Amino acid sequence: MEGQIASVILAAGKGMRMESQVPKVIHKVCGKPMLLHLLNTLEGLQLDRNIVVTGYRENMVRDILPRDINYVHQPRQLGTGDAVKQSAQALEDFNGAVLVLCGDTPLLTRGTLLSLIEAHEQGGHDVTILSTVFRDPKGYGRIVRGAAGEVRRIVEEKDASPEERAIREINAGAYVFGKRRLFQSLAQVQPNPKKGEYYLTDVVGIINREGGTVGSWVCKNPTEVLGINNRKQLARAEKILKTRIIEQLQKAGVTVFDPGTTFVGVDVRIGYDTIIQPLSFIDGLSSLGKNCEIGPNATISSSRIGNNVQIKNSVIEHSEIESGAIIRPFTYIRENRVMQWAAVGV
């Protein structure tokens, strides 16, 4: 990356379709709030500044944020355009590009975001949009292109004509803006007549109208840009991320006999030649050493397991099992216990 880049992550909404009193962005995917998945992805990009826009039950959101993350408050949830406006003061002394993301997209990868940023820098655009192509684009805003293939505007599905709804290229909700152009254009956005909200997507049409340049980068893996608006979509994201985690473990030399009945959290670390038997559940900040045999029916939560450990049909919580230990079936170890080499249990 060539210039300075700040991120603005939109995390102010309630998420009405989740049917929950908990803000949508702190619902967990593979044991971790979806917002933190996105922030972890950004860590690898080493951006100059990260800002989270909070709103609904913001104390719950702020409680999970790392200490080095800046946050701003959106008093009323008046749409994505209004949410980004709240970051203006926090970016007052910043002169680089602004990466805008939605907090409910935990499947985005570092590589995709890096490609989006590079497309923006190399194209010299005022805004560069992340898009992808869905077989069924229902529920997403559509990318409307001109005769030469240039992006003309983004139309929300509820405002789209039948012809526009037939478009399969969708807006993924991730953008890189030139800061000055972004806030100049936001000042011109008018509330949507149907919902009274200020759409960030309207900025694209404004930039085009004023002679600016709009670029795009098409993500080749549509699953990365899936947003989460309800419990069904949450379960789908869980399945996709769980598959990614287990495939990464397999590539690193871990045997997982039945991925369909095995859960491994995103922060878990496992050494090579360890075997995970079916119906095992490993989560939290757990670390497992080399050449272990875990399961079947083992539960390990936020625990440190040494090398050459066997754990069968047992529960280990917030404890340490030293190398060589054998944990026999129906053992329950908890609350910071340290188990040395032994055959423990019945």
Q: What are phi and psi of 49, to 5 degrees?
A: -160, 140
Contact (Cβ atoms closer than 8 angstroms) between residue 226 and residue 236: yes
Tokens of 135: 């077989």
Contact (Cβ atoms closer than 8 angstroms) between residue 329 and residue 312: yes
The contacts of residue 295 (CB under 8 Å, 6+ apart) are 262, 276, 277, 278, 279, 280, 311, 312, 313
Buried b (16+ CB within 10 A) or exposed e, 98-111: bbbbbbbbbbbeee
Q: Please classify residue 180 by burial: count the beta carbons closer than 10 Å to its beta carbon, then call 0-12 exposed, 13-18 middle and 19+ buried.
A: exposed
Closest to 320 in 3D by CA, of 335, 330, 331? 335
Task: Specify whether 17 is catalytic.
Answer: yes
Rounded to the nearest 10°, the torsion over CA 149, 150, 155, 157 is: 30
Sign of the torsion angle spanned by Cα atoms 258, 261, 265, 270: negative
Closest to 104 in 3D by CA, of 233, 282, 253? 233
Tokens of 270: 């496992």
Instruction: For residue 5, give the 3-state DSSP assignment.
Output: strand
- Measure CA 101 to chain center: 9
Per the residue annotation, which of 17, 110, 231, 337 is the catalytic one? 17
Give Dmax (Cα) for the chain. Answer: 76
- In DSSP notation, 281-316 reads EEESS-EE-SS-EE-SS-EEES-EE-SS-EE-S-EE
Residues marked as catalytic: 17
